[in-house]
Copies of this chain bind each other. A is one copy, B any other.
Amino acid sequence: MLRKKDSYVVAVVGATGMVGHEMVEILQERKFPVKELRLFASERTAGETVDFQDRSLTVKLLDREAFEGVDLALFSAGEEVSRAYAPVAASSGAVVIDNSAEWRMKPDVPLVVPEVNPDAALSHHGIIANPNCSTIQMVVALKPLHDAARIRRIVVSSYQSVSGTGKEAMDELMEQTRALLSFRDVVPRVYPFQIAFNLLPQIGLFDEQGSSTEEAKLANETRKILGEDGIRIAATTVRVPVFRCHSESVNIETEKKLSANEARAILATAPGVILYDDPQRRIYPTPVDASGKDAVYVGRVREDTSVESGLNLWIVADNLRKGAALNAIQIAERLLQAAP
> Which A residues form the contact surface with B (CB < 8 A)?
153-155, 157, 159, 173-174, 177-178, 181, 192-194, 197-202, 205-206, 208-212, 232-234, 236, 238, 240-243, 247, 249, 251, 260, 277, 279-280, 282, 284-288, 299-307, 310, 312, 314
Complex A-B: 29 CB contacts under 8 Å: A159-B199, A159-B238, A173-B197, A174-B181, A181-B181, A194-B286, A194-B288, A197-B242, A198-B286, A199-B240, A201-B286, A201-B300, A202-B282, A202-B284, A205-B280, A206-B279, A209-B260, A209-B303, A210-B260, A210-B279, A210-B301, A212-B279, A234-B305, A234-B306, A234-B310, A234-B312, A238-B247, A238-B249, A241-B241
Q: Indicate how many identical chains form the complex.
A: 2
Contact between A234 and B202 (Cβ–Cβ < 8 Å)? Answer: no
Main secondary structure of the interface of A (DSSP, over half): mixed
**Which of chain B's residues have a CB closer than 8 A to the CB of A302?**
209-211
B153 lies within 8 A of A307 (CB): yes
A21: shortest Cβ distance to chain B, in Å?
20
Given contacts A194-B288, A210-B300, A240-B240, contact A306 B199 (CB under 8 A): no
What are the 3 tightest A-B residue pairs by CB atom distance, in nearest-first order? A232-B306, A157-B157, A157-B249
Name A198's contact: one of B194, B242, B307 (CB within 8 Å).
Answer: B242
In the complex, the answer to whether B307 meets A232 with C-beta atoms within 8 Å is: yes
Task: Please pick, from B199, B205, B280, the residue contacting A247 in the complex, using a CB distance under 8 A.
Answer: B199
Most buried by B among A193, A201, A285: A201
Given A199-B242, A209-B303, 15 further pairs, Cβ under 8 A: A159-B199, A174-B181, A178-B181, A193-B288, A197-B242, A198-B287, A202-B284, A210-B300, A234-B305, A234-B310, A236-B249, A236-B312, A240-B240, A241-B242, A249-B249
